[in-house]
Amino acid sequence: MITERIVPPVLVANEAREWLGTPYIHRGSLKGVGCDCLGLLRGLYRIFYGAEPMRLPFYAPEWAEVSDRDTLLAAARHYLVERSGNEPECGDILLFRWRAECPCKHIGIMSGPDRFIHAYEAVGTVESALVPTWKNRIAARFAFPETQKHQGEAGEWQP
């Protein structure tokens, strides 16, 4: 069985730790300046590949509530490596749903056993325990591919 090579999980977790304390700013993606959960992922993506894979249009904080499309999940499947199994591992990119029938709305990075890093409104970028309330909302797990997928595409994410 051939499996796709990924960025070393410890490297992903260590890079995510560098963002701890970054204030929460909707649509932000700059370490130490401000980011939201997608901005944290975008910032890590730039660290690993030098540039983001697509232009990001304006999105409102409630973008997932007004759409029936699972845009975040579709984009993750396009640009990242989907992981199998149910147990999150260090370095995994976690996508969360608030309810089973809703699109994915939140992103975190597994940083260790039962811990993850995420940018959370009114709190900033923090490391939290992956308690059952969070764990039960995981919709999918991904990893950064060793080499960038779909390089040079001029697509635009449409929330």
Q: At 113, which CATH number?
A: 3.90.1720.10
Residues 94, 123: Cα–Cα separation, whole Å: 19
Q: What is the pLDDT of residue 157?
A: 41
Q: Is 150 a member of any domain?
A: no
Q: Is 102 a member of any domain?
A: yes
Q: Is 159 a member of any domain?
A: no
Q: Is 44 a member of any domain?
A: yes
Q: What is the pLDDT of residues 5-17, one digit of tens each?
A: 999 999 999 999 9
Q: What is the pLDDT of residues 86-118, one digit of tens each?
A: 899 999 999 999 988 889 999 999 999 999 999
The 3-class secondary structure across 25-59, one letter per residue, is CCCCEECCCEECHHHHHHHHHHHHHCCCCCECCCC
Q: How far is CA 134 from the centre of its chain?
A: 14
Q: Is 134 a member of any domain?
A: yes
Q: What is the pLDDT of residue 86?
A: 84
- Per the structure, how many domains does the chain have? 1
Q: What is the pLDDT of residues 15-74, one digit of tens each?
A: 999 999 999 999 999 999 999 999 999 999 999 999 888 777 667 676 555 567 888 999
Q: What is the pLDDT of residue 148?
A: 83
How confident is residue 159, by pLDDT bands cut at 50, 70 and 90? very low
Tokens 């309810």 -> residue: 99
The long-range contacts involving 124-130, CB below 8 angstroms and separated by at least 24 positions, are: 124/21, 124/22, 124/23, 124/24, 125/19, 125/20, 125/21, 125/22, 125/23, 125/24, 125/35, 125/40, 126/20, 127/17, 127/20, 130/88
User: In this prediction, what percent of the chain has a pLDDT beyond 70?
Assistant: 85
Q: What does the mean pLDDT of the chain come to? A: 88
Q: What is the pLDDT of residue 63?
A: 58
Residues 60, 94: Cα–Cα separation, whole Å: 21
- Model-level pTM? 0.89
Q: Is 157 a member of any domain?
A: no
Q: Is 14 a member of any domain?
A: yes
Structure tokens at 103: 């699109």
Is the distance from CB of 103 to CB of 97 less than 8 angstroms? yes
Q: Is 105 a member of any domain?
A: yes
Q: Which domain holds residue 103?
A: 9-52+68-143
Assign residue 105 a region: left if phi > 0, alpha if psi is -120 to 50, beta otherwise? alpha
